[in-house]
Amino acid sequence: KPAPQPVQPSPPATRPQQAFLDRDYGQAINGYLRTINSGRADGQTYQQLAASYEAVGKRAEAASAYREAIRLFEAQIASNQNVANARRGIRVCQRALISLENR
């Protein structure tokens, strides 16, 4: 029987996701900002940051993050990387922006 493999630490992006799922939005925001500051952010990171801001009522910050997510998803499409997911991300962000504007 092979020896068990050591548990690998979670990649940085998954810790904020778990915090969001646990409704620890402040921790999620901090985690997403750390990912962004490390230069490893993509459209999904900004989309999730926006949802975290939205959950704590920071509508202006949420809108800004959704717009940045859309910009990054558009760049992802332009570079022909995971186009279907990027298009889906854009649609989600656009709907969220409309929802924010209508509140």
**Per the structure, how many domains does the chain have?**
1
pTM of the model: 0.85
Q: Are 53 and 29 spatial neighbours (Cβ–Cβ below 8 Å)? A: yes
Separation CA 80–CA 68 (nearest Å): 18
What per-residue confidence (pLDDT) applies to 32?
Answer: 95
Domain extent, residue 80, equals 14-101
- CATH number reported for the structural domain that contains residue 51 in this entry: 1.25.40.10
Q: How far apart are the first and last CA of the chain?
A: 59
User: What is the pLDDT confidence band of residue 103, given thresholds at 50, 70 and 90?
Assistant: confident
Residue 81 lies in a domain: yes
Each residue of 12-56: pLDDT tens digit? Answer: 557 999 999 999 999 999 999 999 999 989 999 999 999 999 999
Q: Is residue 68, in this structure, part of any structural domain at all?
A: yes
Residue 2 is assigned to a structural domain of this protein:
no
Is it the case that residue 6 has pLDDT exceeding 60?
no
Model pLDDT, residue 12: 53
Is the predicted pLDDT of residue 8 greater than 90, yes or no? no
What is the structure's pLDDT at 13?
A: 52
Q: Please report which residue ranges of 1-103 form alpha helices under DSSP H.
A: 14-21, 25-37, 43-55, 59-78, 83-101
CA distance 23 to 77: 31
Judge whether 1 lies within some domain. Answer: no
The pLDDT assigned to 14 comes to: 79
Q: What is the per-residue pLDDT across 47-80, written as a single tens digit (0 to 9) for each? A: 999 999 999 999 999 999 999 999 999 999 999 9
Q: Examine residue 9 and state whether it is found in any structural domain, yes or no.
A: no
